[in-house]
Structures are given as structure tokens and as C-alpha cells.
């Protein structure tokens, strides 16, 4: 009988002399398993060792190699010190130990807790072990959440990155101190807005002077910052100015816990209700005095209420983007007409040639293209339509599969970074509290990429379902081809995005590319 030995570092182990060495815990596990295998007369096929990996981590490299070799039946038995060395998740216990291993003809044995799949009588014991380990994960997650919330409630900043205008106090963990260079820009933004400058105008003033935006400033200073999913840009934009003007951190308050995961199992992020946010006043020195803050918030609130009262939910918000820089077009009103324009042009003279188009003109372009699309579908033979439809769906699926691979690579990078930090914690190089603070940013990135991966998978499944149903686009379009005006609901149903370019000086035409959702 060939046996595979699987070892994993125990969480409490911190006794490695060198990072590249196996820990004493791993060495002891190997010795125990080799002796047990020798006593049983089993031939050792290979030793799989995951040092510095948590039991809830499904991406352990040696764990994944072990499963692949088990499926190929390169050995007959998997031997561990305890069942929890293999996994702490009850779901994986049921999936592998009680599900796939018997199908693959693999026997699972753990020495200390006497788990043995050849012994039918101890299945309940194995399930109880799995349940206890699952409880351990849940308790650990709740403990971490409790520690984080406690620190928030006590006025400590627990974010991975200090807000623009502040730095982390090197002498007091969780305390913010003013970064005077950036704070001067924050004060200028508040004063400009209070004196009548708009957010885009403020961004343009800062960009004309070569003032880097918050992310670029932190990068240049060597501070920790959250990398953008878009192409890096050093420019201030409307939304970055808006973010500064609405952040209570600048009056000395901390508002935290706005976003959290659904549970320790799904890791899916959700926005929490406002009554669940943790708000603590006077946690650090303010950059902005209350009089200026109140004046600015009143102006922002007045503008917001005006938009709500007019009922403006613009047709192409979040759908129309600039063909040159990729940023969303903003809707502006002038002489009772609405216009779409790229804000990048207005915040920097050379950054983007800019897109500009009346909303009504774009609406008529979309309606015209909608009718042309429907006519072309009706003119085509059914078989031709089906071939074209399948080609479009296949191309879209190919793009999604590429994105899926890219998101997985980013997710793997986050997991590698977290595993390295776990190793440092296990070796005693950083404290558990430091570990929580340092890993927060990576955990948030990991959760974001998990959501993106999930969305990609759902879209791929939807495409597969569409391919099985065939081309039914004419049925989808039929309710919309006779309309004279679009509604927001129509736009959301039919259109993925619209790219708008700069008007041609000779033809006076604006290049528009519509990406439909079908």
C-alpha cells in the first residue's frame, strides 16, 4: 500500500529558526507519520508539507497537489496527524473524506483523533471533528470581528491606509497625525468650495499646478495606498474632490465599519446600514474647523436636495463613458438642456481631448441604432442570425474567461501576501494585532476579487444558457423599437456601455459605439 503523508503548520507554532526551514512542528509531524507508516508496512509515496498555511485556506499549494495526485490514484492512503491538519472546514470533510476519496479509492487516516475511513463505525466521530473545527473557524472569525469593532468603538483607526492629509502615528497604533503637506491641500479644497468653486473647477486648479491626487501623493511619498483597478492617473477628478469634502475625518471624527462581509464563509462584501456604522468624535486633531465644515456641508446638501426635488435620474449615468480616457461622462444642465461631457478635459488641459454630446442627441442615436439592429435581425435568415448570435456570445465568453483568469491571478497574489504575513505572525515577527491591521487591505482586495470572480462565473453561465436557448433578440427588442423616448429602465435593460468620442471638426459627427447586453 502506498501512503501520502500530509503535514501542515499548526497556528500556534512560532519556533522556526529560519523562514526557509521546516518548523519543529512540521518536523515532528513528519517523524510521527513516517514512524506510523513504517509500523503499518506502508510504502511512502511522497510527503506533502504546507508550512505557514491556515487550515481554512483552500489554496494551499501542497494541499492542492495532494488532491490532484489522489484523484489520479498515485497512492492508496492519505495519512495526517489530525483531521484538522487536512482541513478545518466541515464542507471539505464531507466533499473529500466522505465523498470523493471513497470514489477515488483513497483511504484517509489521522493518527491522534483515530479517523479512518476504512472503519465505518467512526464516521460520526469524523463528522464531529469536522464540526468542531468549523466552530473553531467561526469563533476565530467572530473574535477578529469583535477585536476590530472594539478598536473602532474606542476611536482607533484600523484601516490599512491612512486618509489623505494624515499619517499613522508611529508612537501610538491606530492614532492619526496630521501630514501637513497634504493637509494644506485639504484646507485649500474646503476654502475654494466654500467660496463658490465647483468640484471640477477645484480639480482643474490643482491639476494645473501639478498637485498629485491622493493616490499619487502617497505613492511618491512611499506611504501605503490602495492601488486602483483602473489605469493609474495622477490627476484630481470630480469624485476625488467630492470624497475630501464629505469625509468627517477632517474634523477629527472617525466613521468606520461602513462595509463588511456577509459571513466568514462567503467573504462577500456588503454595504451596512448607516445605523450600524461606528462613529467616534474627537479621535485625532482636525484639519478643518467646524464653521467651515458646516458651511461646506450645507452647500453640498442644498445641491443634493435640488437634484432630488427635480427627480433627475439621468438616462446615461454610469453607462456613457469617454472613448479617450474611459471615465464616466457627467451630465450638466445649461439653458434647460442636458449635456454629457468628460470631466477629465475640464480638470486638465492636456489629459484628454474630451467627449461632449447633448443628452437628447445621444438618446436619438440609441433609438436609431436600436431600430436598425432590429431591422437587420428581421432581414437575416434564421440560420444566419443564429450563427452571428453564437459568434457574439462566444466572443463575449472568451473575454469573460480572460477576465476570470486575471482576477484569479490577483486573488492568488493577495493569498500569497496574506500567507507571508501569517508566516511572520507564526514566527513571532509581528503581533496578532499587527497582523490584523496589516492584512486588512489585502483581505478587502481578496474579497473584492472573489466577488468579481463570482460575477464572471455568473455571466459565463448566463451566456451558456443563452447559447442553449438560441437567438431570441428580436423578442427582446420588440417592446422598444416603436418608442420615441428612452427611460432609465430601458437603458439599464439594453445597454452595457456607450463610448462617446470627440466631435469631428469637419463632419461635425460624434463617434458613438454602443455595447448591447445581448
Domain extents for the chain? 2-151, 156-311, 321-516
Q: 139-147: long-range contacts at Cβ-Cβ below 8 A with a sequence spacing of 24 or more?
A: 140/264, 141/263, 141/264, 142/264, 144/436, 147/433, 147/436
Percent of the chain with pLDDT over 70: 79
**In which residue are the cell numbers 466572443 written?**
395
Lowest average pLDDT, out of 16-30, 98-112, 461-475, goes to: 16-30
Torsion of CA 73, 79, 82, 85, to 10 degrees: -50
**Contact by Cβ (8 Å): 440, 159:** yes
Q: Kindly state the average pLDDT of the residues 276-285.
A: 92
Most confidently modeled range among 16-30, 174-188, 422-436: 174-188
Q: What is the DSSP letter of 224?
A: -
Four-way CATH pick for 156-311: 3.40.50.300, 3.90.1750.20, 1.10.1030.10, 2.40.50.140: 3.90.1750.20
Residue 363 clears pLDDT 50, i.e. is over it: yes
| pLDDT value, residue 261 | 67
**Contact by Cβ (8 Å): 419, 57:** yes
Alpha carbon 220 to its chain centroid, in Å, reads 24
What the block records as the C-alpha cell of 233 is 492617473
Would you tell me the crossing angle of helices 238-245 and 199-208 to the nearest 10 degrees?
110
Structure confidence by residue, pLDDT tens digits, 228-270: 544 457 788 888 898 999 999 999 999 988 877 655 555 556 7
Dmax over CA atoms of the chain, in Å, equals 90
Lowest average pLDDT, out of 22-26, 39-43, 212-216, goes to: 22-26
For residue 131, name the pLDDT band (cuts at 50, 70, 90).
Answer: low
For residue 16, name the pLDDT band (cuts at 50, 70, 90).
Answer: very low
Give the C-alpha distances (Å, rounded to integers) separating 48 from 8, 26, 33, 64, 85.
Answer: 9, 11, 11, 10, 11
Give the C-alpha distances (Å, rounded to integers) separating 56 from 128, 263, 264.
Answer: 17, 14, 10
Extended strands (E) in 277-353: 278-280, 320-322, 329-334, 337-342
Q: Kindly state the average pLDDT of the residues 98-118.
A: 87
Give the C-alpha distances (Å, rounded to integers) separating 504 from 43, 364, 390.
Answer: 76, 19, 35
| pLDDT value, residue 141 | 60
Residue 172 clears pLDDT 70, i.e. is over it: yes
| pLDDT value, residue 17 | 46
| pLDDT value, residue 287 | 95
Q: What is the DSSP letter of 250?
A: G
Per-residue H/E/C for 69-119: HHHCCCCCEEEECCHHHHCCCHHHHHHHHHHHHHHHCCEEEECCCCEECCC
CA proximity to 437, closest of 138, 206, 162:
162
- CB neighbours of residue 80 within 10 Å: 25
- Return mean pLDDT, the chain: 79
Report the C-alpha gap between 125 and 57 in whole angstroms. 23
Q: Kindly state the average pLDDT of the residues 171-190.
A: 93
Q: Helix, strand or coil for residue 212?
A: coil
CATH 3.40.50.1390 fits 2-151, yes or no: yes
Structure confidence by residue, pLDDT tens digits, 365-398: 988 888 887 776 665 555 455 556 667 778 788 8
Residue 111 clears pLDDT 80, i.e. is over it: yes
**Contact by Cβ (8 Å): 342, 364:** no
| pLDDT value, residue 304 | 47
Q: Helix, strand or coil for residue 217?
A: helix
Pick the more confident residue, 2 or 347. Answer: 2
CA proximity to 200, closest of 302, 352, 363, 362:
352
Phi and psi at 280, nearest 5°, equal: -130, 125
Q: Kindly state the average pLDDT of the residues 52-78.
A: 87
Residue 469 clears pLDDT 80, i.e. is over it: no
Q: Are strands 107-110 and 77-80 parallel, antiparallel or unpaired?
A: parallel
For residue 285, name the pLDDT band (cuts at 50, 70, 90).
Answer: very high
Structure confidence by residue, pLDDT tens digits, 438-468: 777 777 777 777 878 887 888 888 787 776 6
**Contact by Cβ (8 Å): 361, 509:** no
**In which residue are the cell numbers 445621444 written?**
362
What the block records as the C-alpha cell of 458 is 455568473
| pLDDT value, residue 408 | 86
Report the C-alpha gap between 378 and 385 in whole angstroms. 9
**In which residue are the cell numbers 453640498 written?**
300
Report the C-alpha gap between 435 and 34 in whole angstroms. 34
Amino acid at each position: 500500500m502506498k501512503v501520502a503523508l500530509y503535514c501542515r503548520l499548526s497556528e500556534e507554532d512560532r519556533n522556526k529558526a529560519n523562514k526557509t526551514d521546516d518548523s519543529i512542528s512540521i518536523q515532528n509531524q513528519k517523524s510521527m507519520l513516517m514512524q506510523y507508516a513504517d509500523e503499518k508496512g506502508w510504502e511512502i509515496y511522497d510527503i506533502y508539507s504546507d508550512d505557514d498555511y491556515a487550515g481554512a485556506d483552500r489554496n494551499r499549494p501542497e494541499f492542492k497537489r495532494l488532491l490532484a495526485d489522489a484523484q489520479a490514484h498515485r497512492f492508496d492512503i492519505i495519512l495526517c496527524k489530525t483531521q484538522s491538519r487536512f482541513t478545518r472546514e466541515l464542507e471539505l470533510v464531507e466533499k473529500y473524506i466522505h465523498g470523493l476519496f471513497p470514489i477515488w479509492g483513497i483511504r484517509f487516516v489521522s493518527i491522534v483523533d483515530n479517523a479512518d475511513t476504512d472503519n465505518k463505525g467512526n464516521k460520526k466521530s469524523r463528522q464531529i471533528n469536522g464540526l468542531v473545527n468549523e466552530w473553531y473557524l467561526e469563533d476565530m472569525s467572530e473574535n477578529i470581528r469583535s477585536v476590530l469593532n472594539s478598536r473602532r468603538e474606542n476611536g482607533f483607526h484600523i484601516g490599512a491606509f491612512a486618509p489623505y492629509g494624515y499619517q499613522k502615528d508611529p508612537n501610538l497604533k491606530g492614532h492619526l497625525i496630521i501630514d501637513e503637506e497634504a493637509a494644506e491641500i485639504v484646507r485649500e479644497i474646503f476654502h475654494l468650495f466654500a467660496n463658490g468653486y465647483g468640484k471640477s473647477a477645484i480639480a482643474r486648479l490643482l491639476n494645473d499646478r501639478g498637485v498629485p491626487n491622493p493616490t499619487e501623493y502617497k505613492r511618491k511619498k512611499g506611504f501605503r495606498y490602495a492601488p486602483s483597478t483602473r489605469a493609474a492617473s495622477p490627476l484630481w477628478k470630480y469624485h476625488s474632490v467630492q470624497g475630501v469634502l464629505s469625509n468627517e475625518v477632517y474634523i477629527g471624527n472617525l466613521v468606520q465599519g461602513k462595509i463588511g462581509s456577509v459571513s466568514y464563509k462567503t467573504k462577500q462584501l456588503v454595504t451596512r446600514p448607516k445605523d450600524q456604522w461606528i462613529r467616534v468624535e474627537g479621535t485625532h486633531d482636525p484639519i478643518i474647523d467646524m464653521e467651515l465644515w458646516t458651511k461646506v456641508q450645507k452647500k453640498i446638501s442644498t445641491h443634493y436636495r435640488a437634484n432630488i426635488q427635480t427627480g433627475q435620474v439621468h438616462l446615461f449615468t454610469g453607462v456613457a463613458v469617454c472613448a479617450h480616457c474611459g471615465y464616466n461622462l457627467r451630465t450638466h444642465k445649461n439653458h434647460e438642456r442636458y449635456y454629457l461631457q468628460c470631466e477629465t478635459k475640464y480638470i486638465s488641459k492636456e489629459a484628454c481631448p474630451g467627449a461632449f454630446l447633448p443628452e437628447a442627441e445621444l438618446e436619438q442615436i440609441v433609438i436609431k441604432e436600436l431600430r436598425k439592429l432590429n431591422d437587420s435581425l428581421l432581414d437575416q435568415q434564421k440560420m444566419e442570425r443564429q450563427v452571428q448570435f453564437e459568434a457574439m456570445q462566444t466572443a463575449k465568453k472568451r473575454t469573460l474567461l480572460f477576465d476570470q483568469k486575471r482576477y484569479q491571478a490577483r486573488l492568488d497574489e493577495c493569498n500569497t501576501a496574506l500567507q507571508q504575513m501569517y508566516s511572520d505572525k507564526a514566527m513571532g515577527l509581528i503581533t496578532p494585532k499587527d497582523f490584523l491591521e496589516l492584512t486588512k487591505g489585502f483581505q478587502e482586495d481578496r474579497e473584492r476579487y472573489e466577488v468579481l470572480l463570482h460575477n464572471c462565473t455568473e455571466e459565463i453561465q448566463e451566456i451558456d444558457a443563452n447559447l442553449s436557448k438560441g437567438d431570441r433578440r428580436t423578442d427582446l427588442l420588440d417592446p422598444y423599437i416603436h418608442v420615441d423616448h428612452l427611460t432609465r429602465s430601458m437603458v439599464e435593460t439594453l445597454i452595457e456601455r456607450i463610448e462617446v468620442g470627440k466631435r469631428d471638426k469637419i463632419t461635425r459627427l460624434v463617434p458613438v459605439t454602443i455595447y448591447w447586453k445581448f
